[in-house]
Amino acid sequence: MKKISIRSKILLLLTPLFIVVFVSLSYIVYLDYQKLVLVDRTQKGIELIQHISLLIHETQKERGATGGYIGSNGKKFINKLPNQRLLTDEQVKKFTIFVKTINYSNYSPKLKLELNLL
């Protein structure tokens, strides 16, 4: 041990410290990446819920207009129903486009199956 230079002794002492720091920083980066993936997944989930909510809202309005039209024997909602169908169709298109942008690898396989049934 006496023949080892002071520089080598210092390096020998600091090497474990550098390894611990490197491993610790790597772990912190990994945890931050996992948080980023979770945030992205949550954000996409919120967007999905918003699209589903808008689609349900438009279909409910169409259902109400259809009920009013049928209940009045075609005397009421005659102009509103075709316009509402266009709005519903537009929302279906937006929903379909959004569903195609989802990276399903971050979710359960059941989600993709259920969304493709819509």
**Identity of residue 87:** L
% the chain with pLDDT above 90: 64
> Do the domain assignments include residue 1?
no
Q: pLDDT tens digits for 33-53?
A: 999 989 988 998 899 999 999
- pLDDT above 80: residue 116: no
- What confidence score (pLDDT) does residue 117 get? 63
- pLDDT tens, position by position, 51-105: 999 999 999 999 999 999 999 998 898 999 999 999 999 999 999 999 888 888 8
> Does residue 49 lie in a domain region?
yes
Q: Is residue 26 part of a domain?
A: yes
On whether residue 89 sits in a domain, the answer given is: yes
Q: Is residue 110 part of a domain?
A: yes
Domain of residue 77, residue span: 6-117
Residue 99 inside a domain? The answer is yes
- Give the global pTM: 0.70
Within a domain: 39: yes
